[in-house]
Amino acid sequence: PAQGLGLIYDTLTASSLDEPGTQYALLAKSMVHPDDFASVTFTLDERARFHDGVSVKAADVVWSFKTLTSNHPFYRAYYADVDSVEAISERVVKFTFRKSGNRELPQIVGQLVVLPKHYWAGEGKDIQKTTLEPPVGSGPYIIDTFETGRYVTYRRNPDYWAKDLNVSVGKYNFARVRYDYFGDFTVAFEAFKAGNLQFRDENNSKNWATGYDVPAAKDGRMTLEMPANGSVQGMQGFIFNTRKNKFKDLKLRQAFNHAYDFEWANNTLFYGQYVRTGSYFDNSELAATGLPSPAELQLLTPLQDQLPASVFTQAYRNPENPDPNALRQNLRKAKKLLEEAGWNVTNGKLQKNGEILEVEFLLVQPAFERIVAPFIRNLEKLGVTANIRTIDPTQYQNRVMDYDFDIIVHSFGQSLSPGNEQRNYWSAENADRPGGRNLIGIKNPAIDKLVEHIIFAPNRATQITATRALDRVLLAHHFVVPHWHIPTHRLAYWHNISRPDNLPLYSHGFPSIWWANEDKPK
């Protein structure tokens, strides 16, 4: 899909950038649910219109839900707990759930993108096929111009039906929003510095440290800033495909973490900008700390025979390498773990039952090669045969969707209100589903139970407890070699756009709450 396509669509409810777990009325002017959360009923705003002037009806909601869940594995998994959807009347739609007690599910259903049934049911239309005809939506922007593979421009809809709603006030200030496509990250960076792009959310530490030494950054035409980022920092890391027999032993996976020298990478490659990620919910109250609390133990103890003993006896902590001697010690620990897993060096190669341990790091960003290469050098000291394969985005996506990889770089995004997405990430039912999000291939009944505790938590305190329990169990299995994060945004933008003095706690809010300075040239 086109970048920024969400600008043309509205959802039943709108989320808040600074209030986790909160939804406001948008297409739906009201939502009600029984005390047991067995269903949710939405009443649509009678003012809601698609771009072609047709009213948004309950039939559109029903059609959208059935179409999205039948044609895309993500939506099918995300809304798996919805048993049925029916139009009660022209503007009232009811979702009935498979189980009661899921407090978050009404809000999850509220995130549903509503598509125009009349448009897609028209002659020659097929939502399953790629099209270059701009689709009809109901959101604040309309696709204006585009060139396949180069750019797409959205123009603000002056007749946007919801422009005066409270959730829209102060937003959608740009008359036009354009996204340019680049096949090379360096070319995109140079385009920004040349003034051809106005905004950049920098994710490259080298660029941030050395790449913005340009006149515009010195004379005030370009702003560089690092506002606080209060959002949950999910787990990015080198993830193992545990469908492969060689990665099924957690001691082998743990050994790989002992061979990764984050401190060297941070100081040498990242200019000291990052901190090591030590949780799947870092930078939040959801992260596990210390040993399990009494409340966590109530969830974990019944699952004890399905969990590593370390869940109960050790607080998770990444290996640290403040100096070369520490790295040597960690490599010795890695060697011991590999031997305990049955892997020994023969003729310079790590082997088990005659099988040589060979691993491939599958990459899509060439910039990661300089990060993986020193990791491989450490692995080779242990006898591991490892290589890097960098492929184009299409090939990469196909291989990942088919689970055809050993190790990849991946990030599991999180929010302060975890729910159904945890099932997509970790549950056995999604481990072998093509195109699914359980990329690691986890099949663990204890993890499945903890995920259900999160989804059906009766209150916030229980949700936090269950999430912390899940976090420590995932960490104890060493499914990933954790990467790093930075608790701030790194924003670069030109003087012809501006932002509010106070940004939302959990987002930089671009482009929705920023605006253009018409009196300043590009």
- The full 3-state SS of 352-399, as one line of letters, equals ECCEECEEEEEECCHHHHHHHHHHHHHHHHCCCEEEEEECCHHHHHHH
How much is the mean pLDDT over the chain?
95
pLDDT-derived band of residue 238, with 50, 70 and 90 as boundaries? very high
- pTM listed for this prediction: 0.86
pLDDT-derived band of residue 367, with 50, 70 and 90 as boundaries? confident
Q: Are strands 491-494 and 344-346 parallel, antiparallel or unpaired?
A: unpaired
- pLDDT at position 74 is 84
| Spatial separation of the C-alpha atoms in residues 204 and 311, rounded to whole Å | 34
Mean pLDDT (whole number) for 484-506: 95
**Do the beta carbons of residue 480 and residue 490 sit within 8 Å?**
no
| Spatial separation of the C-alpha atoms in residues 162 and 463, rounded to whole Å | 34
pLDDT at 381 over 70: yes
- pLDDT at position 9 is 98
Structure confidence by residue, pLDDT tens digits, 396-413: 999 999 999 999 999 999
- pLDDT at position 19 is 85
pLDDT at 184 over 90: no
Q: Give the three-state DSSP class for 27.
A: coil
**Do the beta carbons of residue 450 and residue 466 sit within 8 Å?**
yes
pLDDT-derived band of residue 1, with 50, 70 and 90 as boundaries? confident
Which domains can be identified in the chain, with CATH numbers? 9-120 (3.90.76.10), 141-229+487-516 (3.40.190.10), 235-485 (3.10.105.10)
Residue 86 pairs in a beta bridge with: 94
Mean pLDDT (whole number) for 209-231: 95
End-to-end Cα distance, the chain: 29
pLDDT at 173 over 90: yes
Mean pLDDT (whole number) for 196-219: 95
- pLDDT at position 522 is 62
Mean pLDDT (whole number) for 162-188: 94
Is the dihedral angle over the CA atoms 478, 480, 481, 482 positive or is it negative? Answer: negative
| Tokens of residue 219, six digits | 């004379």
pLDDT-derived band of residue 125, with 50, 70 and 90 as boundaries? confident
Mean pLDDT (whole number) for 32-61: 98
The angle at the Cα of 71, spanning 80 to 126, to the nearest 5 degrees, equals 150
pLDDT at 521 over 80: no
The reply to whether omega before 215 is within 30° of 0 (cis) is no
**Do the beta carbons of residue 447 and residue 426 sit within 8 Å?**
yes
- pLDDT at position 131 is 86
pLDDT at 520 over 80: no
More confident residue, 499 or 22: 499
CB environment 112-137: b (16+ within 10 A), e (fewer)? bbbbbbebbeeeeeeeeeeeeebbbb
- Out of 228-232, 247-251, 307-311, 401-405, pick the least confident: 228-232
Mean pLDDT (whole number) for 469-475: 99
Look-up: residue for tokens 């139970």?
Answer: 449
Three-state SS across 200-262? EECCCHHHHHHHCCCHHHHHCCEEEECCECCCCECEEEEEECCCCHHHCCHHHHHHHHHCCCH
| Spatial separation of the C-alpha atoms in residues 386 and 518, rounded to whole Å | 54
| Spatial separation of the C-alpha atoms in residues 25 and 47, rounded to whole Å | 13
pLDDT at 465 over 70: yes
H or E segment and range at residue 491: strand 491-494
pLDDT-derived band of residue 17, with 50, 70 and 90 as boundaries? confident
pLDDT at 63 over 80: yes
**Do the beta carbons of residue 172 and residue 81 sit within 8 Å?**
no
pLDDT at 209 over 70: yes
pLDDT-derived band of residue 20, with 50, 70 and 90 as boundaries? confident
Structure confidence by residue, pLDDT tens digits, 441-461: 999 999 999 999 999 999 999
- pLDDT at position 232 is 94
| Spatial separation of the C-alpha atoms in residues 56 and 58, rounded to whole Å | 7
Structure confidence by residue, pLDDT tens digits, 131-158: 889 999 999 999 999 999 999 999 999 9
